[in-house]
Amino acid sequence: MAERIGIMIPPDVLGLLFRIGAVVTGEHGFTARLAENGVPQGHELVDCGYNRKDGQFFFIFAPQEDREPGPVVWQAPVYEKEQGHGIDS
């Protein structure tokens, strides 16, 4: 039986990465900005979970001073290829 690798991370840490609009760069020249516009400084993580129906994790942020539920503006990761990197360069 093959050895498996597991990674555990608290949702608050991922929430911080999304909030700052972190960019992850891989070794093949592709990058991913975790949230297309980042999350405003005054927002904090108020809900997160896993939607089994869609097979996706979700993170919801709201202004610190206003915790009333309202509409959610969904963002998606942005994938880009860096200039001068990768197999095609």
Residue 16, domain member (yes or no):
no
pLDDT by residue for the chain (89 residues), tens only, comes to: 889 888 888 888 888 888 887 888 877 777 777 777 778 888 888 888 888 898 888 888 888 887 777 888 888 777 666 555 444 44
CA distances for 66 relative to 10, 61, 63, 75, angstroms: 24, 11, 5, 20
Contact by Cβ (8 Å): 44, 65: no
Total number of domains constituting the chain: 1
Range of the domain at 45: 37-64
Residue 59, domain member (yes or no):
yes
Residue 7, domain member (yes or no):
no
The DSSP annotation for 13-64 comes to HHHHHHHTT-EEE-TTSEEEESSTT---TTEEEEEEEEETTTTEEEEEEEET
Q: Which residues contact 87 (CB under 8 A, 6 or more apart)?
A: 28
Residue 25, domain member (yes or no):
no
How much is the pTM? 0.65
